[in-house]
Structure 1
Amino acid sequence: MELPGQRALDVSPVDDVSVPPVVSLVLPCYNEQEVLPETTRRLLALLREWIAGGQMAPGSSIYYVDDGSRDQTWALIAGYAATHEEVGGIKLSRNRGHQNALLCGLLTAPGDVLISLDADLQDDLGAIPQMVCQYRAGSEIVFGVRSSRACDTWFKRVSAEGYYRLLALLGVQVVFNHADYRLLSRRAVETLRTYEETHLFLRGLVMQLGYQTSVVEFERAERFAGESKYPLRKMLGLAWQGVTSFTAYPLRIITGAGVVVSVGSMGLAAWALFTRLFTDHALPGWASVVLPMYFLGGVQLLSLGVIGEYLAKVYEASKKRPRFHVDRVVGAGFKRRVGA
């Protein structure tokens, strides 16, 4: 599907990063009607300030991606696009999830530089000029990294940091305490376009691009309004996505577990045979039969579940279905409307 802003793959580095770039801010939205007015007000004021100060070029804009919202999110976006030349909107035909919506925005919005951030105002907007400075110094990917997790609950802090450590242990390359607040150069975005992953985990995928990177630290604030669109269930799903999309280590764990269980089973069989042949204590008992049976059955079911997860990914990828459909686009930089 051809999208606005799409062009032939350009893998040449930026010619002159000393010139202020045209920056596109990409914000996925799902039922964000409570926070969008304040988000738009702040971003417009800052964007105009940055353009006037020479940090960004005229034409820099804000692009909202409506991920199939069920409230007035799209109506607000369309209204802002009609009244502010710096605002554009992309509406997906249905809810496709945060990662697909974010990718759609990155592949659709124009600009020399694209910065992805959340619409809930938790990401520090003051870090954006720092990211652009890093880009103009030569970095094509700039990661926004949380300097602390003071605003998180104990459970979220421990679970999130433990997850990053688990990914590193499994060999998945990610930036510690980095979510999806990042800058990508046009070259990085066009390279990302060539990846055809069905199950997206952009934090890991961006690390595969291989271009020069840098880090900007920021303090994450409390959510301005509304409720988090990432409850525990979705967080666990994204965590599992990151593991299964970038490493086959769980399959190797199954192999190791199979070896251990096999050795243990042979040891148990040798013990039973020794007891039967050389002692008179060989009394039939349910424990020696039932416990190993339950243990082996549990290991087998777990192994089949993990293998099934990988097979499901292969099955879904083989269908080659589009990751999203754009229903319509409005506002800044878009020359025409597109349908799914």
Structure 2
Amino acid sequence: MEKTIDEARDVACLYLVIPCYNEEQVLPVTAPRFLEKIKEMEGRGLISGESRILFIDDGSSDSTWSIVTALNSRDHRFQGIRQSRNRGHQNAVLAGLMEARSKADIVISVDCDGQDDFDAMDAMVDKYYDGYDVVYGVRSSRESDTFFKRFTAESFYRILNALGAETIYNHADYRLTSKRVLNAFADFHEVNLYLRGLFPLVGFPSTTVEYERHERMAGSSHYPLAKMLSLAFNGITSLSIKPIRLITGLGAFVSLVSFIGVIWVICKVASGDTVSGWASTACILCFVSGVQLLSLGVIGEYVGKIYMESKHRPRYIISDRTSGDE
């Protein structure tokens, strides 16, 4: 049954979950913009006056936490939690979601750099009132990206889907989720997190909202190519066993080729048409050895993840919180 603002006077309480890591340059610029958006949505009756902006300091080494506490002292709508050490973007987002789920009706996770269009939040909340529990922010285009960035990003999503990790094309971590989705999501206890692939697994009605992505308002990106590749590999191995199956298929193919090669050698020996040489032998050995090492590496990655999951270590540890509501 669809929900509308006209049917229910009790509008939703919204929390913005904003992960931060060494963002002392951009935070003073974007924080007022987030507050302005919250006030605007309150004025339109989209969200309640209990809505908040929750910053998650992911163990920053600069003055990010000092800025968050200063914002909180000036306006109680700004709240913050601080992790005991840097644990990565995905764990920081998770910490914010779990912190907000008991306080908010809906949560929007968004980066603090100002690249994600703030106005898309209005459309996300509208979709929530239309009956959707998950609203994914999806980039409308990548025309502003360089060729290399666009090629790698598009390849990233295609490879993930091809290897069995269900993802929303051109979606990062800009999304709205309802309380019941977060309550269900709390039952997922993976240590190796890939949130973009986990939310589709939770289910519930979902839709997308397109938006234009802008340049950073200040500072520089903390997500270089190496971290993007690590995130992609983590997403594949955390959500799919298809690479293991590909290894099995490759092993069967190599075995078949080797069996044919053995038959060919036997025929050559029987006919007396043999020539001693090291080149063919070396090529075969290098090929088979390479396949074996690659296969062992992928299997080892899965074994390592099983090892980490078996320890049941906490995914985040909150060391500090700002003061509560006035």
Normalising by structure 1, what TM-score? 0.92
Q: Are 2:3 and 2:129, in contact at CA under 8 Å, matched by a contact in 1?
A: no
Alignment counterpart, residue 122 of structure 1, candidates 112, 115, 119: 115
Q: Are 2:157 and 2:170, in contact at CA under 8 Å, matched by a contact in 1?
A: yes
SS at match of 2:115: coil
Deviant stretches of 4+, over 3 Å: 13-19
2:226 is the alignment partner of 1:233: yes
Identity of aligned residues (%): 45
2:174 is the alignment partner of 1:173: no
Q: Are 2:82 and 2:318, in contact at CA under 8 Å, matched by a contact in 1?
A: yes
2:297 is the alignment partner of 1:305: yes
Alignment counterpart, residue 69 of structure 2, candidates 62, 69, 78: 78
Unaligned runs of 5+ in 1: 1-12, 336-340
Q: Are 1:90 and 1:330, in contact at CA under 8 Å, matched by a contact in 2?
A: yes
Residue-by-residue CA offset, 1:154-180 (whole Å, 9 max, x unaligned): 111111111211122222211110000
Alignment counterpart, residue 151 of structure 2, candidates 149, 152, 158: 158
Equivalent pairs counted in the alignment come to: 321
SS at match of 1:182: strand
Aligned equivalent of 1:47: 38
After TM superposition, the structure 1 stretch with the greater mean CA deviation from structure 2, 82-91 or 158-167, is 158-167
CA RMSD of aligned residues (A): 1.6
Change in 2 beyond 3 A, CA 1:193/1:29: same
Residue-by-residue CA offset, 1:71-113 (whole Å, 9 max, x unaligned): 1100000000111111001100000000000000000022111
Q: How does 1:140-219 map to 2 (within 5 A)?
A: 140-219=133-212
Following the alignment from structure 2 to structure 1, what is the Cα–Cα distance between the partners of residues 198 and 242?
A: 17
Q: Are 2:29 and 2:218, in contact at CA under 8 Å, matched by a contact in 1?
A: no
SS at match of 2:79: strand
Aligned equivalent of 1:8: none
Following the alignment from structure 1 to structure 2, what is the Cα–Cα distance between the partners of residues 92 and 14?
A: 36
Alignment counterpart, residue 252 of structure 1, candidates 245, 252, 256: 245
Q: CA deviation at 1:331?
A: 3.8
Q: CA deviation at 1:279?
A: 3.8
2:285 is the alignment partner of 1:289: no
Normalising by structure 2, what TM-score? 0.95
Following the alignment from structure 2 to structure 1, what is the Cα–Cα distance between the partners of residues 128 and 167?
A: 20
Alignment counterpart, residue 272 of structure 1, candidates 249, 254, 265: 265
Following the alignment from structure 1 to structure 2, what is the Cα–Cα distance between the partners of residues 142 and 255?
A: 37
Q: CA deviation at 1:328?
A: 1.1
Following the alignment from structure 1 to structure 2, what is the Cα–Cα distance between the partners of residues 113 and 332?
A: 19
Following the alignment from structure 1 to structure 2, what is the Cα–Cα distance between the partners of residues 237 and 151?
A: 24
Unaligned runs of 5+ in 2: none
Q: Are 2:160 and 2:232, in contact at CA under 8 Å, matched by a contact in 1?
A: no
SS at match of 1:285: coil
Change in 2 beyond 3 A, CA 1:92/1:14: farther
Q: CA deviation at 1:119?
A: 0.3
